[in-house]
A and B are shown apart, each in its own frame.
Chain A
Amino acid sequence: MPIPIKRKLFLCAVLLAGVIKASAAFGLDEVYSPNVEYGELSVEANASQSFDSNPVKNGAQTGELTLEVGIAPRISLSVSGEYSADPGESLELVAHEVQGRFQFFEPGEHWLDAGLLVLYDASTQPDTPDTFGARLLLQKDIGRFTHTVNVGFTQDTGKNAAPGAEPEYTFLWSTRYRYSQEFQPGIEIQSSLGPAGQLGYYNQQEHYIGPSASGKLGRHLKYQVAYLFGASDAAASSAARIQLEYETNF
């Protein structure tokens, strides 16, 4: 899920004004596996919220409702409704998203599992740009640990995109310990690195790190939860995310 458009605009305004460096927290996202489950249909609900003593960074929310289908052995497609709220505002639908995930190899076939995620967000808000993006998805099992990395970017596009808008980069890392099917504790790192010109400025980027847990309850229900702590000046003190997924096969 890309950074909500409204929040990006808010960030730009604040930075340009030179008032403060920080902005509303970006929405925490799922760290995607490169592996697609062919023949599976899933309904997902995601939500995240930031927490901070500074009202500018406290209470930013994102939400997403997604329908995903594994349409081919290595391809899944999904459509989503994306919701967002800046601090003190109400959650509203900000974009419709279409997303494709492509698995390059069979899991375990090579030393590293790899895939690509591409997305397009069509804004529902007036005067806000659409967004496209891509992420390289990498995964490696070492014993009972599964490490997953997503590296990618989003780019404003369409008639409402600001002239000279640059791609913004994201980095996500998840390590989980497969203790049991129902409970897999781990850690997550989520970073919104901003545009290329900001890559060397750690404290202007938003970095979060913290514990997570995921698992599968019975045959159909999967969950992910994470509570991450801000690790840079621009980040909120903390942020939480939850994801519930109901999956079935067709």
Chain B
Amino acid sequence: MKISSRLYALHCLLSMLICVAPLSARAQAQAQEIVLLLKNHQFSPKELSVPANKKIKLVVRNQDPTPAEFESTDLNREKAVAANSEISVFIGPLDPGRYEYLDDFHRDLATGTIVAK
């Protein structure tokens, strides 16, 4: 392989990274933080109201001694949360409406709805 080819490949890789660098450098608009509890394999509150058209930082706090997975097709989110720990999930800005979610590890027990209004 010519040196120029290697440099060209390296250039491509760096260009990719440069393209997304402004995203990380840019100051992020402040997301409103809202806590969602998970205890006894039940979400609390079961229906969570959030403001529409605003970015939300949803803190999912698992108070059970077993792991869980916050999952929502409506929101396109899937993230495991270990026992007795918490995760953050960024959602929105959401159009007004209802968005279902569940604990993928306890599908029949732990379900809930986010209502954006």
Contacts and interface: CB of A to CB of B under 8 A. Distances in A.
Contacts of A38: 79-80
A180 interface: yes
A106 B56 CA distance: 13
A199 to B, nearest CB: 12
B60 to A, nearest CB: 13
Contacts of B23: 104-105, 110-112, 114
A39 B77 CA distance: 15
Interface residues of A, number: 43
Contacts of A151: 16
Nearest to B88: A106
Contact of A178 (B20, B76, B80): B76
Nearest to B68: A249
Say whether chain B's binding surface is mostly helix, strand, loop, or mixed. Answer: mixed
Contacts of B20: 104, 112, 114, 136, 138
Interface in B64-103: 67, 69, 73-74, 76-80, 82, 88-92, 95
Contact of B67 (A161, A163, A249): A249
A212 to B, nearest CB: 16
19 contacts: A38-B79, A38-B80, A39-B67, A106-B90, A110-B24, A112-B20, A114-B23, A116-B17, A134-B16, A136-B16, A155-B1, A155-B5, A155-B9, A162-B1, A164-B1, A180-B73, A184-B73, A196-B8, A249-B80
Given A37-B78, A112-B23, 13 more contacts: A104-B20, A104-B24, A106-B90, A107-B77, A108-B89, A108-B92, A114-B20, A114-B23, A156-B1, A162-B1, A164-B5, A178-B76, A196-B8
